[in-house]
Amino acid sequence: MKSQTLIFRLALAGYSRIAAGIPLTKLLDTPQRLLRDAVSGRPWQFRPQDNVVRIDAAKLELRETELRRELARFSKWTSRLGYAPGTAGNLSVRLDKERILATPTGCSKYLLRPSDMVITDLDGHLLSGTRNVTSEIGMHLTIYRNRPDVEAVVHAHPPIATAFASCGLALDTPLCAELVMALGSIPLAPYATPGTEELGASIEPLLPDHDAILLANHGAVTFGKDLQDAMMKMETTEHFAQVCLATCEIGSPRPLENTAVDQLKQAREKYLKNCQ
């Protein structure tokens, strides 16, 4: 093989892989093979797999990188809002049909880095990561199994909403239009010990009709089409809890009438369609 031809083929092989976003450690696979063929005197033959741009693999790797960054960013957001004191709370996203990317156990959400995230299968077993899986991964998996439309889950401990949950009170009184438009209502799941299978079972009956749920004597969980959507629902949950508390302190709360609630539910359907 002429040296000029070899150099050109080496450059082409490397460039095509760089363009595909293949990791640096994999860039030299084809160039190394070409060099071995040239030294051994074997005639060079084109193999389609050598220069096929593996778009799916590249996209998946890029998606994982982006989701790791988002998990770190929204974890910090959760901590700054005071929703995740100490090591409380956990967040997750669907990585693909068979894997979940989640925050690890026992870590401050403010200090988490993208590299700290762990990957699990749909049974909660650790597939990748240097830290351990959160003990509450089962609750996340229950949501993903029952709601194929859900791509992200946020579990946190917003103080006022958690206070309502600790008093055995759901946030289901239609006091303001915003809540009905954004979430409909926020039910209360019965108490279940954190980190057990019972926690997932406690919320399962509520999943089809709700995107935010209070966990009795525990906290709250929200879920949506992405991390931002799930996080905004957590903010809305805490905001409504503050409104409910204020109305109780002021006295004489006036819930919306059934006709107004029905109209808001219809408006919510249109709103959700426009958000897609």
What are the DSSP calls for 200-237, one per residue? HHHHGGGGGG-SEEEETTTEEEEEESSHHHHHHHHHHH
Catalytic residue check, 178: no
Distance of alpha carbon 63 from alpha carbon 165, whole angstroms:
35
Dihedral class, residue 263 (left if φ above 0, else alpha if ψ from -120 to 50, else beta): alpha
Q: Which residues contact 32 (CB under 8 A, 6 or more apart)?
A: none
Instruction: Dig out the tokens for 244 from the structure.
Output: 């409910």
Distance of alpha carbon 17 from alpha carbon 97, whole angstroms:
26
In contact, 124 and 133? CB cutoff 8 Å: yes
Active-site hit among 136, 151, 235, 238: 136
The catalytic site residues sit at 136
